[in-house]
């Protein structure tokens, strides 16, 4: 008994002590991004907020209520586990759709909790019926059809069978959606392929109409499609990247500028700020090496600050000797290698830095700003890859 209590105490104490960094999410930035997207897609289309990968690293638990505050009532994820996180986080009766992996033994939980899901093969559809009958609740199905992306998607030759099955078992299978996903619509060079996918989608939908058993919603658009290709917007759009304030690609940003006849647009705001604090300060003599190995040798007498973040915290090692952070509103360049949980920055030219001063890893401080995009340029990670790797353990917090 005693030992159980001791363990519980330990867990509680752990939660009261500090992590090495924190992530702040701006509610006003989210409102601005969603209203920008809303203007693009019109007032009718449902915006499904894509929160897979822990809300692209922003944190499902914190992000979901923020999105609900902005009127979002539909979320999309990649797995049952993520769906369960959304159910725990939501503060409304918002719907959740699983777009990816769904194990048979999770189907019971999924249907019981009225979680929607993509179906792209007959075995899943048949299993859904079986479980829906057992649970005595309707399975909420989005039929994802193959249009040329060749990832998931029901093959064209299975469409009639799937439609007949849906119609026959209408008491247990609700035909929520008919959808597809584009294979790289954010890149202009892919447009010939996207155009074929759109054409195929329309052709398949015509067959659904001829058959006469209609879905409630048709959807295909992701962020890039919703922002720059109005003819892809149907009853629902599935928006990830853009809601977090990231342009899906330079192509989409440039298309937007062209369409709106602007030279610059700051309608979308980065939600995320990532902060830590100076852990230690050191005087370095000219010609000394800094940190592991010999990758950085001081060209002059220097002062460095030690930052308690490393590659284990999602800060890419590729930023060694390349990236920078903000301290006292100024850029402090990274010197030496990024270690597992520490790196050093040059603060020689920043007056008065003290242990405990705030370090901005991503975000704004004074006039200076570090964008998620700037990381991608150094690391070759696309924006989404960088943010989605931010560890779930970092505490997230909502700010205005």
Ligand X SMILES: *Cc1c(COP(=O)(O)O)cnc(C)c1O
Signed CA dihedral, 375, 381, 385, 391: sign only: negative
Binding-site member from 149, 153, 240, 314 for ligand X (CB under 6 A): 240
Q: Of 239 and 271, which CB lies nearer to ligand X in the complex structure?
A: 239
CA distance 306 to 277: 9
Which lies closer to ligand X via its Cβ, residue 173 or residue 224?
A: 224
Q: Which is nearer to ligand X, 248 or 323 (CB)?
A: 248
Please state, as a whole number, how many other Cβ atoms lie within 10 Å of the Cβ of residue 170. Answer: 11
Residue 40 lies near ligand X (rule: CB under 6 A):
no
Site string for ligand X, 147-186 (x = CB under 6 A): ----------------------------------x-----
Per CB under 6 A, the list member of 57, 177, 245, 248 interacting with ligand X is 248
Interacting positions 88-147 with ligand X (CB under 6 A): 99
Tokens 């202009």: give the residue. Answer: 188
* Minimal distance, residue 32 CB to ligand X, in Å: 17
User: Measured between alpha carbons, how far is 222 from 251 in angstroms, rounded to an integer?
Assistant: 15
DSSP 136: T
- Give the binding range for ligand X (CB under 6 A) out of 35-43, 193-201, 239-247, 314-322: 239-247
**Cβ-based nearer residue to ligand X, 48 or 365:** 48
Window 41-60: residues binding ligand X (CB under 6 A): 50, 52
Q: Does the footprint of ligand X cover residue 239 (CB under 6 A)?
A: yes
Q: What are phi and psi of 375, to 5 degrees?
A: -65, -40
Task: Name every residue whose Cβ is closer than 8 Å to that of residue 104 and which is 6 or more positions away in sequence.
Answer: 127
Report the residue number, 41 or 316, with the smaller CB distance to ligand X: 41
Residue 182: C-alpha distances to residues 149, 187, 319 (Å): 6, 11, 32
Q: Is 296 a catalytic residue?
A: no
Catalytic hit among 8, 126, 292, 317: 292
389 Cβ partners below 8 Å, 6+ apart? Answer: 57, 314, 381
User: Is 383 near ligand X (CB under 6 A)?
Assistant: no
Lookup: tokens for 250 = 């330079």
Phi-psi label, residue 294: left if phi above 0, alpha if psi -120 to 50, beta otherwise: alpha
Nearer to ligand X, 47 or 139 (CB): 47
Task: Name 3's Cβ contacts closer than 8 Å, sequence gap at least 6.
Answer: none
**Number of residues located near ligand X, criterion CB under 6 A:** 12
- Provide, rounded to whole angstroms, the least separation between the CB of residue 49 and ligand X: 10
| Interface map 193-232 toward ligand X (x if CB under 6 A) | -----------------------------xxx--------
Strand pairing category for 236-239 and 272-277? unpaired
Q: Answer yes or no: are the C-beta atoms of 90 and 68 closer than 8 Å.
A: yes
Q: Which residues pair with 352 in a beta bridge?
A: none
Active-site residue, 176 included:
no
Q: Are 207 and 159 in contact (CB under 8 A)?
A: yes
CB of 181 to ligand X, least distance (A): 4
| Least distance (Å) between residue 244 CB and ligand X | 8
Among 58, 238, 256, 396, binds ligand X (CB under 6 A): 238
344 neighbors 306 (Cβ within 8 angstroms): yes
Binding site for ligand X (CB under 6 A): 50, 52, 99, 181, 222-224, 238-241, 248
* Active-site annotation, residues: 52, 292
């Amino acid at each position: 008994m005693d030992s159980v209590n001791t363990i519980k105490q330990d867990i509680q104490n752990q939660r009261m002590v500090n992590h090495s960094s924190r992530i702040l999410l701006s509610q006003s930035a989210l409102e601005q991004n969603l209203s920008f997207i809303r203007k693009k897609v019109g007032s009718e289309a449902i915006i499904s907020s894509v929160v897979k990968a822990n809300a692209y690293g922003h944190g499902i638990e914190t992000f979901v209520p923020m999105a609900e505050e902005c009127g979002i009532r539909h979320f999309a994820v990649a797995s049952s586990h993520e769906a369960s996180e959304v159910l725990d986080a939501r503060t409304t009766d918002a719907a959740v759709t699983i777009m990816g992996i769904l194990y048979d033994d999770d189907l019971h939980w999924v249907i019981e909790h009225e979680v929607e899901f993509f179906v792209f093969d007959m075995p899943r559809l048949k299993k859904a019926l079986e479980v829906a009958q057992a649970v005595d609740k309707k399975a909420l199905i989005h039929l994802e059809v193959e249009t040329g992306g060749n990832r998931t998607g029901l093959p064209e030759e299975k469409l009639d069978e799937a439609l007949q099955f849906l119609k026959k078992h209408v008491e247990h299978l609700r035909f929520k959606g008919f959808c597809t996903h584009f294979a790289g619509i954010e890149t202009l060079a892919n447009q010939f392929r996207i155009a074929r996918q759109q054409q195929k989608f329309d052709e398949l939908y015509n067959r659904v109409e001829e058959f006469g058993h209609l879905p409630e919603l048709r959807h295909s658009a992701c962020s890039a499609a919703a922002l720059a290709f109005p003819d892809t917007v149907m009853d629902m759009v599935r928006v990830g990247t853009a809601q977090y304030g990231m342009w899906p690609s330079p192509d989409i940003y440039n298309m937007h500028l062209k369409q709106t006849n602007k030279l610059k647009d700051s309608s979308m705001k980065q939600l995320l700020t990532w902060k830590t604090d100076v852990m230690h300060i050191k005087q370095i003599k000219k010609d000394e090496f800094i940190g592991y190995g010999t990758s950085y040798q001081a060209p002059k007498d220097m002062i460095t600050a030690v930052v308690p973040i490393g590659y284990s915290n999602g800060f890419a090692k590729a930023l060694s000797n390349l990236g920078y952070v903000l301290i006292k509103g100024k850029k402090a360049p990274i010197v030496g290698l990024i270690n597992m949980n520490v790196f050093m920055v040059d603060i020689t030219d920043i007056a008065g830095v003290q242990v405990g001063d705030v370090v901005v890893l991503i975000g704004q401080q004074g006039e200076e700003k570090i964008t998620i995009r700037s990381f991608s340029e150094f690391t070759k990670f696309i924006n989404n890859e960088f943010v989605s790797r931010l560890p779930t353990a970092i505490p997230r917090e909502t700010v205005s």
